[in-house]
Amino acid sequence: MLQAPGMITDEIRPQLLELANKQDAYWQPRLAAAIAFRSGDAAKAAEFFDSNGPGPQFLFLAAMAYQKLDKLDRARQLFDEGCAWLQEQRAKDPGAGIPKQYYSWQDWVIEASLESEAAALIDAAPERRRSGS
């Protein structure tokens, strides 16, 4: 649900929200934000992220939500934080494709995919094209 755009349909959204609501206090609002974002409600996602903080695993989703709301500075800040966090994880295990200290390779793949997705969205922002960065 975090990784695949367009996979959350009106039919499965209630089930996913029910599952998210069964999670602990850390994961519940972040998963709800992810579901909102992937359902096309960037404003609701940003509201959840503002209230709870995105946490490191959700920085790229939060960045994309703010980008879609044209809050470009906040989007860039969150994107940069996400990149720095991934770099910290890589530095813990130099040369490894997937840092050994990371939770699991599946989680790492999701983070790397979200980084690429966010980079494509944020780098396509009008102010970035004009400035040539």
Q: pLDDT tens, 78-113?
A: 999 999 988 888 887 777 776 666 566 667 677 888
Task: Confirm whether 58 is domain-assigned.
Answer: yes
pLDDT digits (tens, 9 = 90+) for 46-67: 999 999 888 888 999 999 999 9
Domain-embedded: residue 131: no
With H, G, I as helix, E, B as strand and everything else as coil, classify residue 69. coil
Question: Which domain range does residue 17 map to?
Answer: 13-126
CATH number at residue 29: 1.25.40
Positive or negative, the CA dihedral 79, 80, 85, 88 is positive
Q: How far apart are CA 104 and CA 114, in angstroms?
A: 16
**Which region, left, alpha or beta, applies to residue 130 given φ > 0 means left and ψ of -120 to 50 means alpha?**
alpha
Is residue 5, in this structure, part of any structural domain at all? no
Number of domains in the chain: 1
The answer to whether residue 6 is domain-embedded is no
Q: Is residue 133 domain-resident?
A: no
Q: What does pTM read for this prediction?
A: 0.79
Of 81, 23, 24, 71, nearest to 45 (Cα)? 71
- Percent of the chain at pLDDT exceeding 90: 30
pLDDT for 119 equals 92
59-68 vs 27-38: helix crossing angle, rounded to 10? 40
Rg (CA), the chain: 15
Per-residue confidence (pLDDT) for residue 79, from 0 to 100: 95
